[in-house]
Chains A and B, each alone.
Chain A
């Protein structure tokens, strides 16, 4: 009986640890609030091409394609870090349409940045004033969204993509 009482703390510790472990393994991040846009249709916004002012696309017209939308800017260092990984995604999924949205940036800087580091995007849209970012509820750069064939947002990631995120999360959804 006495030993049982003495073992109480250790039993308690194990129970608590099991809960914590399950929680950790679920990989939830309380710092990222669930996006209100998840499972919703993408906002129907028009995008102007970075390289050609006369070229326009409307997001809601991009049907029957899986799209990865990546918000970036030349002034954003973490974007520079994740940049090579976008090429990797493109290589692994040739059919994926990668859409870059250049957020609150100078046109000249953005073009220079893509010339230097390469352009992994199928299309680069301009969001000079950040209004499109507002539609998507962008917190900070970089931010990445995944859209399925019926035009619904199925995934969102805040911060620079990592190899782990791509293999564990994004590849599973594609």
Chain B
């Protein structure tokens, strides 16, 4: 029954979108505008009904629904029953539709753009929605009914049963799918030839919002990988991470070039290109993940017919967009005011670097596929490739970032040059001294230097820009600096947690103590707990420093009865400046093998990301 309601909701929203599509061509008729908007609202309501009925089926453990049967179990906690709605292929595609129409719904309240442009944007957004909803209807229906009676479901993969992962997909989708609106805006703007200041302002706001959400989504995923996978790191250059990083970088480039255009009315063609690129990369990523072409932690049930469907969608949408781009895009005849060191030139360099980085990642991600098609050999491209190609590309960009916001648009001069120079010299001396007294490492040196100079220069710019217009205005106008400080803090975290990480493999018997880097670790006892859907074996560790107890850490192993899977739960003690990260291994002759990591400054990464998101959201207020 509930499946029927859900399916009807999906189907009606599809029909209503066709109505929006048709009514666009009868614009001059009386009432047509009203009908258009009401169709958007009701289509949104229909898809919400559909989505919530799937959620209801999950909460109720309604195993007559095939999707629920495949991905849920009655003993799951409520939160994961709710999150179960989108932690599988079909459900997540339904969420995709909800968000896609949600953006259309929100955009229909826009009052800045002129009416024609607004309607054409809605038209294209609806067209995109029709493409994806036909995919859901015909190839990935979440409302299929089970052919046999089932009393119990197959259960959700235990490593996905985690609070961070419950909100990771919706947040990520707000970014990923939101780029569809940017694409619609770009194509509508191109066709009506209305890429003007208003268009740029609107696009900037939506891009900032989507980009901030995408940042949050990626960070949540990476945070989850850090404490759930138990590999000691937080970024693994997994194909799925890469495909989310590519639209993120493109979005970042877009945000920056939109700023350039706002001030000087330039680079129109480039921003339209980036607007199209963002959503193209989103669909491309979706294709790579959903077709089962890549092996990764996100292996959805693979089905090549689905893959072909998404590939066709990708081809149709991107080639249509780029064809419009080829024939309609015009560049303004003003030349760029490129000087040796002014805001325009640094922004252009930063855009080039980002796109090169994006292409490098793309190449690494699809290279194995191309090689396998040509030579039938299976190869893998891993972290060493990305670390040695992407990082060096980004370095000059980071260096420029420290001064770019302070540069002028028109001249080569940097106001108050001396203070910046002084801070650079000071930072390099500090970094040199620090690395002399600890131990020298090239990457460590570069990373700490970059991070300190970005933070230092941004703080100086903050100080220089200070005026008496009031705090709120001051923050809105300097929000780029906040983001850059966030990046600086993040680079610090990334550098320290990767370069200065310590890893030790030890074995403990009960009550045995061992010393790692001046800290004493003691395995006090092991306990077994019976929880609702798993059994847990916990090792209780105490950490001492100078004979004083600092904390207790409880790494564990869980056995999930339903899926018969064992997962390793990392025990982490988060200290301000370092994480103590303990993984419980196997037991042999009453000795437990234990892996201990000390990860310095990991918290800085999350803190930096939060600053970036906040700054992105503040930027929406900037006119």
In the complex, the chain B residue whose C-beta lies closest to that of A15 is: B370
For A16, list chain B residues within 8 Å (CB): 366
Q: Could you tell me which B residues sit within 8 Å of A by CB distance?
A: 148, 150, 152, 154, 273, 277, 280, 287, 291-295, 299, 302, 304, 307-308, 311, 314-315, 318-319, 322-323, 325-326, 329, 366, 369-370, 372-373
In the complex, the chain B residue whose C-beta lies closest to that of A9 is: B322
Contact B325 A13 (CB under 8 A): no
Closest Cβ of chain B to A84, distance in Å, is 10
Q: A9-B273, A9-B318, A17-B314 given. 14 additional CB < 8 A pairs?
A: A6-B326, A10-B318, A13-B315, A13-B319, A14-B319, A16-B366, A19-B369, A20-B291, A20-B369, A21-B308, A24-B293, A24-B307, A30-B292, A30-B295
Complex Cα distance, B287 from A23, in Å, reads 13
For A20, list chain B residues within 8 Å (CB): 287, 291, 293, 311, 366, 369
List 8 contacting pairs A-B, 8 Å CB cutoff, sorted by A. Answer: A10-B323, A13-B314, A14-B319, A20-B291, A20-B293, A29-B292, A31-B302, A77-B150
Contact B329 A6 (CB under 8 A): yes
Q: A9-B322, A10-B326, A19-B366 are in contact. Are A31 and B299 (CB under 8 A)?
A: yes
- Answer yes or no: A25 CB below 8 A from chain B CBs: yes
* A 60-81 contacts with B by CB, 8 A: 77-78, 80-81
Q: A10-B319, A10-B322, A29-B292 are in contact. Are A23 and B369 (CB under 8 A)?
A: yes
- Answer yes or no: A129 CB below 8 A from chain B CBs: no
For A81, list chain B residues within 8 Å (CB): 148
Closest Cβ of chain A to B320, distance in Å, is 10
The total of interchain contacts (Cβ-Cβ below 8 angstroms) comes to 70
Complex Cα distance, B373 from A16, in Å, reads 11
Complex Cα distance, B338 from A165, in Å, reads 61
For A25, list chain B residues within 8 Å (CB): 304
* Main SS class of interface, A: helix
Complex Cα distance, B369 from A16, in Å, reads 10
Is the interface on chain A under 10, 10 to 19, 20 to 34, or 35 or more residues?
Answer: 20 to 34
Contact A13 B304 (CB under 8 A): no
For B299, list chain A residues within 8 Å (CB): 31
Complex Cα distance, B304 from A26, in Å, reads 9
Closest Cβ of chain A to B216, distance in Å, is 28
* A 25-41 contacts with B by CB, 8 A: 25-31
Contact B277 A17 (CB under 8 A): no
- Answer yes or no: A7 CB below 8 A from chain B CBs: yes
Complex Cα distance, B60 from A32, in Å, reads 33
Complex Cα distance, B366 from A22, in Å, reads 13
Contact B322 A22 (CB under 8 A): no
Residue in A3, A13, A22 whose CB lies within 8 Å of B318: A13
Please, what's the 1-or-0 string for A73-117, where 1 marks a CB less than 8 Å from any CB in chain B?
000011011000000000000000000000000000000000000
For A13, list chain B residues within 8 Å (CB): 280, 314-315, 318-319, 322
Residue in A17, A28, A29 whose CB lies within 8 Å of B311: A17
Complex Cα distance, B366 from A21, in Å, reads 13
Contact B322 A23 (CB under 8 A): no
For B292, list chain A residues within 8 Å (CB): 29-31
Complex Cα distance, B369 from A6, in Å, reads 26
For A29, list chain B residues within 8 Å (CB): 292, 302
Q: Could you tell me which A residues sit within 8 Å of B by CB distance?
A: 3, 6-7, 9-10, 13-14, 16-17, 19-31, 77-78, 80-81
Complex Cα distance, B32 from A85, in Å, reads 54
Closest Cβ of chain A to B292, distance in Å, is 6
Complex Cα distance, B152 from A80, in Å, reads 13
For B291, list chain A residues within 8 Å (CB): 20, 24
Complex Cα distance, B277 from A13, in Å, reads 11
Residue in A9, A10, A23, A80 whose CB lies within 8 Å of B372: A23
Closest Cβ of chain B to A9, distance in Å, is 5
Complex Cα distance, B304 from A31, in Å, reads 13
Complex Cα distance, B292 from A19, in Å, reads 15
Closest Cβ of chain B to A97, distance in Å, is 28
For B307, list chain A residues within 8 Å (CB): 24
For B293, list chain A residues within 8 Å (CB): 20, 23-24, 30
Complex Cα distance, B373 from A39, in Å, reads 23
In the complex, the chain B residue whose C-beta lies closest to that of A104 is: B564
Complex Cα distance, B309 from A20, in Å, reads 12
For B314, list chain A residues within 8 Å (CB): 13, 17
Q: A19-B369, A29-B302, A77-B150 are in contact. Are A24 and B308 (CB under 8 A)?
A: yes
In the complex, the chain A residue whose C-beta lies closest to that of B273 is: A9
For B150, list chain A residues within 8 Å (CB): 77
Complex Cα distance, B325 from A26, in Å, reads 33
Complex Cα distance, B302 from A66, in Å, reads 29
Closest Cβ of chain A to B558, distance in Å, is 19
Closest Cβ of chain B to A108, distance in Å, is 19
For B329, list chain A residues within 8 Å (CB): 6
In the complex, the chain A residue whose C-beta lies closest to that of B319 is: A10
Residue in A3, A19, A24 whose CB lies within 8 Å of B304: A24
Closest Cβ of chain A to B113, distance in Å, is 26
Complex Cα distance, B427 from A111, in Å, reads 76
Complex Cα distance, B154 from A21, in Å, reads 32
Closest Cβ of chain A to B68, distance in Å, is 13
In the complex, the chain A residue whose C-beta lies closest to that of B374 is: A19
Complex Cα distance, B318 from A7, in Å, reads 12
| Most B-side CB within 10 Å, residue of A13, A19, A24 | A24
For A26, list chain B residues within 8 Å (CB): 373
Contact A9 B311 (CB under 8 A): no
Residue in B154, B304, B323 whose CB lies within 8 Å of A77: B154
Contact A21 B294 (CB under 8 A): no
Complex Cα distance, B309 from A40, in Å, reads 37
Residue in B325, B370, B372 whose CB lies within 8 Å of A28: B372
Contact A22 B373 (CB under 8 A): yes
Q: A6-B329, A9-B322, A10-B318 are in contact. Are A27 and B304 (CB under 8 A)?
A: yes
For B280, list chain A residues within 8 Å (CB): 13
Contact A31 B287 (CB under 8 A): no
For B318, list chain A residues within 8 Å (CB): 9-10, 13
Q: A13-B318, A77-B150, A77-B154 are in contact. Are A19 and B323 (CB under 8 A)?
A: no
Contact B373 A23 (CB under 8 A): yes
Complex Cα distance, B407 from A30, in Å, reads 50
Q: A10-B323, A81-B148 are in contact. Are A21 and B311 (CB under 8 A)?
A: yes
